[in-house]
Amino acid sequence: MPSLGGGRLRSDFGFINRLNLLILFFEIDRNNTHQMLVKMLLESKSESTKKRAEKFVIKANELRKKADKLAARKKYKEAIATLEASTKELVRAIRVGGVFIPG
């Protein structure tokens, strides 16, 4: 944890790294949930709706793979940002399916 020393806040790199790792796990779970929502929503939609949503899903999957590679290299901040971008693409696919969710 950051500690107070001599009136100054000193950041502990290990704490920051663990915090970023926790945020990464949250974003992975959030992304997985959105992937599940897209699949469930599009099951009952027309082929034309599925086709319109597909471009967003493809982009989301590409970004997710990139985020996984960044995380494997312990570049947590970049992985988090890339996961957030992936989830945004999934939100767009959900909206194409007729459901508005903020994001």
The total of structural domains in the chain comes to 1
Confidence of residue 2 (pLDDT cuts 50, 70, 90): very low
* 66 lies in some domain: yes
* 58 lies in some domain: yes
Question: Can you give the pLDDT at residue 12?
Answer: 57
d(CA 38, CA 24): 21
Give the tens place of pLDDT for each residue, 34-74. Answer: 999 999 999 999 999 999 999 999 999 999 999 999 999 99
Write out the residue range of the structural domain in which residue 37 sits.
10-96
* 16 lies in some domain: yes
Say whether pLDDT at 8 is over 80: no
Q: What kind and span of H or E run contains 84?
A: helix 76-96
* 39 lies in some domain: yes
Token pair listed for 84? 């957030």
| pTM of the full structure | 0.84
* 49 lies in some domain: yes
- Percent of the chain past pLDDT 90, that is, above it, reads 79
Question: Can you give the pLDDT at residue 11?
Answer: 52
Q: From the centroid of its chain, how far is CA 29?
A: 8
- Per DSSP, the residues of 35-80 read HHHHHHHHHTS-HHHHHHHHHHHHHHHHHHHHHHHHHHTT-HHHHH
* 2 lies in some domain: no
Pick the closest to residue 52 from 90, 88, 97 (CA basis): 97
